[in-house]
């Protein structure tokens, strides 16, 4: 089990936050063990008769997992498997170590929430654009919906975890209109690789509900959707040639260098290549 405490970061922290929220707490799921998370952890430990020290390790994890009001086993069969990696590598005609490297660096850690739903992140600025594309004026709809509909990107409205579904539902409920529903689904990123819903047509789906349905199947399906994405965007050639910088620039945009995605990809590849 992973040991977590104040200032820890990563998907394990996000899972911790999701689990705590299942016990009735309301903290933002951001993958950062901040002061708010520390306070909640201490309160949870106290309620479970544990030492209230803010350190999440064997005993606290055991209490979280064994007493969670969700069936955690339901997501185990959805996790990515070795055969999924091998299958996509064969399909793309690239090395297995390359796929493993990309999965390590570019995935969000998990494709599912602890309650079994696909991991999403709702983007209000994209919702604005998607409504406009469907000839719907977002301005009058933005009143009383500032947390899900805004013109410029901001992360201040992110809540993470199942809270993102509440934001998605709010967006859908703005108006009883199939165009609004489609725009809302298109404005969320989905699954292990957080692919935006508005890509559904370029990925070969006639309707966004088909895209969402496949995302729900498994992380293996999510990996295959990701494979479609890099093929459609002509990025496979960079992986074949192990041109990490070109791939990172194409996939992550201009911010790739600041985040050192190309360096992380190369380091991960070397690790998996040696392991193979």
| pLDDT attached to residue 270 | 97
Is residue 75's pLDDT more than 90? no
pTM: 0.92
Is residue 6's pLDDT more than 80? yes
In a domain, 16, yes or no: yes
In a domain, 65, yes or no: yes
Q: Which residues contact 38 (CB under 8 A, 6 or more apart)?
A: 5, 6, 54
CATH number at residue 51: 1.10.101.10
Sequential DSSP letters for 1-36: ---B-TT-BSHHHHHHHHHHHHTT------SB--HH
Mean pLDDT of 32-54: 98
In a domain, 94, yes or no: no
Confidence tier at 276 by pLDDT (50, 70, 90): low
In a domain, 252, yes or no: no
Tell me the CA end-to-end span of the chain in Å, nearest whole number. Answer: 25
**Which run of H or E residues covers position 120?**
strand 120-122
Is residue 150's pLDDT more than 80? yes
- Residue range 249-266, pLDDT digits in tens: 999 999 999 999 999 999
- Residue range 88-139, pLDDT digits in tens: 999 999 999 999 999 999 998 999 999 999 999 999 999 999 999 999 999 9
Mean pLDDT score of the chain, rounded to an integer?
A: 96
Domain that holds residue 43: 11-69
In a domain, 20, yes or no: yes
């Amino acid at each position: 089990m992973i040991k977590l405490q104040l200032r820890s970061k990563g998907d394990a922290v996000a899972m911790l936050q999701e689990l705590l929220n299942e016990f009735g707490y309301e903290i933002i799921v951001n993958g950062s063990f901040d002061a708010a998370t520390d306070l909640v952890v201490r309160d949870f430990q106290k309620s479970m008769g544990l030492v209230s020290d803010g350190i999440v390790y064997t005993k606290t994890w055991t209490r979280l997992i064994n007493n969670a009001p969700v069936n955690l086993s339901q997501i185990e069969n959805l996790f990515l498997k070795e055969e999924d990696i091998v299958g996509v590598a064969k399909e793309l005609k690239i090395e297995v170590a390359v796929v493993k490297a990309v999965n390590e660096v570019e995935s969000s850690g998990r494709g599912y929430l602890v309650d079994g739903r696909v991991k999403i992140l709702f983007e209000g600025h994209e919702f604005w654009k998607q409504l406009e594309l469907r000839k719907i004026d977002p301005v009058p709809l933005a009143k009383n919906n500032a947390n899900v509909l805004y013109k410029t990107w901001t992360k201040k409205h992110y809540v993470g975890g199942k809270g993102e579904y509440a934001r998605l539902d709010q967006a859908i409920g703005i108006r009883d209109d199939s165009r609004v529903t489609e725009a809302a689904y298109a404005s969320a990123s989905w699954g292990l690789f957080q692919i935006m819903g508005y890509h559904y047509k370029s990925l070969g789906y006639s309707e966004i509900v088909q895209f969402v349905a496949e995302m729900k199947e498994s992380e293996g399906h999510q990996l295959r959707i990701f494979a479609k994405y890099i093929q459609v965007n002509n990025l496979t050639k960079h992986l074949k040639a192990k041109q990490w910088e070109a791939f990172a620039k194409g996939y992550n945009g201009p911010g790739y260098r600041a985040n050192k995605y190309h360096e992380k990809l190369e380091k991960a590849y070397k690790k998996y290549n040696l392991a193979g």
